[in-house]
A = this chain, B = another copy of it.
């Protein structure tokens, strides 16, 4: 049996991502010891019951002692406070990483607290589901997904390489880019799509002319797809929008501009503008499927009954 990549991995936070990392460390023998810490005793007990780690700690400082890889798996908004707390207890030579969906703000919050003796490698596995909590994790979560690393100027290259090997062992393909570019890319492929999904679900719930039970009843006509995304973790997503503000507002402004132009086309009966856009977007779907980023099966391959129908005739 080959040497594990790390002696001791500390996971701070044990939600969907933290628990899926824990399962991967076990499944692929990536560490001798997995230390798990989370603030809520109940969540920690669930993690222990599920056997996700080797030791369980309510005190975050206990978990990170002697760890040679520490990963913060918590909402972006509390990364700074946690880093300040653990900084004095970090082992020299340790790698500190995270899984946050925003990288600029995470770096801004964490960097000032970290001693020079550790290597900070911000990371973002582009993986998840609409479910949350330690029981939501599964080993295949990162399989064939991207993990983006955004190392700093001062980050030690061998530490970046080691974390890359770690994520590849979890099944991911690793991409390296600047934090600034990451935040722009994610704003358009993830943050704004989530915002408009949350928004349409809210709008639909607040109508007087159509009841909420009608909205639910007839949701398979397109709406249900948005409810899935709008079921994502509220704390995590609040923090994403608060911390990637500038990129989100910029992309949102463009979205609204484009939507106003579609609205105008509808009002004035300009069918060509609509038809041209709808033809162009269809081609992009083909690219997504060809790039292996989604299934080609109709309705995402949902099972019949739940899945064999939806909106194209709706």
- Please tell me if the beta carbons of B267 and A249 are within 8 angstroms of each other in the complex: yes
B contact residues around A286 at 8 Å (CB): 231
**Cα–Cα distance between A204 and B192 once the two chains are bound (Å):** 10
- Please tell me if the beta carbons of A223 and B285 are within 8 angstroms of each other in the complex: no
Question: Would you give the 0/1 interface string for A128-142, flagging 1 where the beta carbon is closer than 8 Å to chain B?
Answer: 111110001010111
Q: Does A84 contact B (CB under 8 A)?
A: no
Q: Does A49 contact B (CB under 8 A)?
A: no
- Please tell me if the beta carbons of B309 and A188 are within 8 angstroms of each other in the complex: no
- Please tell me if the beta carbons of A275 and B228 are within 8 angstroms of each other in the complex: no
B contact residues around A99 at 8 Å (CB): 313
**Cα–Cα distance between A265 and B248 once the two chains are bound (Å):** 12
B contact residues around A284 at 8 Å (CB): 201, 204-205, 212, 215-216, 227, 230
- Please tell me if the beta carbons of A189 and B222 are within 8 angstroms of each other in the complex: yes
- Given A263-B252, A312-B236, answer yes or no on A274-B223 (Cβ-Cβ < 8 Å): no
Most B CB atoms within 10 A — which of A188, A229, A255?
A: A188
Q: Does A232 contact B (CB under 8 A)?
A: yes
Q: Does A59 contact B (CB under 8 A)?
A: no
CB-nearest residue of chain B relative to A239? B271
Q: Does A235 contact B (CB under 8 A)?
A: yes
**Cα–Cα distance between A287 and B306 once the two chains are bound (Å):** 14
B contact residues around A214 at 8 Å (CB): 185, 189
- Please tell me if the beta carbons of A299 and B200 are within 8 angstroms of each other in the complex: no
A187 → chain B closest CB, angstroms: 8
Q: Does A114 contact B (CB under 8 A)?
A: no
Question: Would you give the 0/1 interface string for A117-157, flagging 1 where the beta carbon is closer than 8 Å to chain B?
Answer: 00000001111111110001010111111100000000000
Question: Would you give the 0/1 interface string for A270-314, flagging 1 where the beta carbon is closer than 8 Å to chain B?
Answer: 010011011111101111100111110011111111111111111
**Cα–Cα distance between A228 and B216 once the two chains are bound (Å):** 20
A55 → chain B closest CB, angstroms: 24
Given A196-B200, A227-B288, A229-B311, 13 other A-B contacts at CB below 8 A? A99-B313, A125-B313, A128-B312, A144-B308, A146-B218, A188-B210, A201-B281, A207-B254, A216-B287, A241-B274, A242-B274, A292-B306, A300-B302
What are the 6 closest A-B residue pairs judged by CB atoms, nearest first?
Answer: A128-B312, A129-B298, A127-B309, A231-B285, A128-B313, A234-B278
